[in-house]
Amino acid sequence: MPMRNYREELMENIADLDEAAHYLTACYEESEEVFLLGLRQVVEAHGGVGALAERSGLNRESLYKLLSEEGNPRLSSLAAIFDALGLKLSFATSSGDQDEAA
């Protein structure tokens, strides 16, 4: 059985929006840095920054900057990125919090 390149397989998997959503959730739960790396990977899997700029209406240079390792995207920018990718941001309770409140 031939071995597959991890990056190629990751890009193929996160090209699916459901997989991308799960991947970004796992990245977010890890750390801010891991989330931003995961977001860059999802953007790449969905056509790259140029395609995202066209779909989101955001400036290409600004997207490169906010998705960089030094980037610090605003919530409004993230919302535009998620919308352009076909994803939505959602929230859930932490595990166990519901039981304690009852």
- Choose the weakest-confidence range: 55-59, 80-84, 95-99: 95-99
> Confidence class of residue 96 from pLDDT cuts 50, 70 and 90?
low
Fold classification of 6-101 (topology level) = 434 Repressor (Amino-terminal Domain) (1.10.260)
Residue 18 is predicted with a pLDDT of 95
- Choose the weakest-confidence range: 35-39, 43-47, 70-74: 70-74
Domain range annotation of the chain: 6-101
Q: Residue by residue, what is the 3-state secondary structure of 29-54?
A: HHCHHHHHHHHHHHHHHCCHHHHHHH
Task: Look at the block and give the residue holding tokens 């190629």.
Answer: 8
Task: Look at the block and give the residue holding tokens 């919308």.
Answer: 83
Sign of CA dihedral 24, 32, 30, 68: positive
